[in-house]
Amino acid sequence: MTIKKKTKATAYIYLIDELKHYYEDILEEYSNPEKYLTKAYTSEHRFFADLEKDLPPLTVPRILIYVANRHLTAEEPIKDVLRFLDRLYAISPGFEVIVITSQKIESTDHRLRERGVVALIPDNENAMLRIDNLVKGSISRHTIRVKHKAASRSIHFMGLYLLLVLIFAVVAWFLFPEYF
């Protein structure tokens, strides 16, 4: 009888791509279930329905790759994307959102970054490479934050220990001055 070790994904990666431009590439790139839990959607509605049913844990990086070509070519391009981001952050704050678009406008880029979008990537032949770099960077940032938190906790415990030793030494010095 073999015992299988249950592994956890190190990152939850979600893709919303209505036209399926990056569908197969992303699912293939992040297909390792030991590292990634990857889910792809063709509509925002399905994404939100699934997200509300099964929220990802806050202890792992949550990355959303959002192909927004349809929205950024509309008359009010930014409003639909901002509305989408508001709804996403209301349901589950802390998502790192990567937006892929065929239009890159400076004002759009600035407003999306203010709302928490990690990157606005132009839809070209280098997009998949940039997505991969951003996903790995997000995982690295999360790992560094976790290790920093653990290190600061260790330093706090060591400081508390040294304070207790000092208090014990001072009390001992007053109670047993002949030993000092």
Question: Do 78 and 166 lie in a common domain?
Answer: no
Measured between alpha carbons, how far is 149 from 153 in angstroms, rounded to an integer?
Answer: 6
Domain range for 162 is 153-179
Question: Do 69 and 126 lie in a common domain?
Answer: yes
Please name the residue ranges forming H helices in 7-126: 23-29, 44-53, 77-91, 106-114
- For position 109, which CATH number holds? 3.40.50.2300
Query: Within a domain: residue 3?
Result: no
Question: Do 44 and 126 lie in a common domain?
Answer: yes
**Residuewise pLDDT in 10s, the chain (180 residues):** 455 455 566 889 999 988 888 888 888 888 888 889 999 998 899 999 999 998 888 888 999 999 886 655 555 667 788 888 999 999 988 899 999 887 766 777 788 888 888 988 888 889 899 999 999 999 999 999 999 999 999 999 999 999 999 999 999 999 998 887
Is the pTM value of this prediction over 0.95? no
Q: Which residues contact 67 (CB under 8 A, 6 or more apart)?
A: 15, 16, 17, 18, 19, 21, 22, 99, 100, 101, 123
| Domains contained in the chain, number | 2
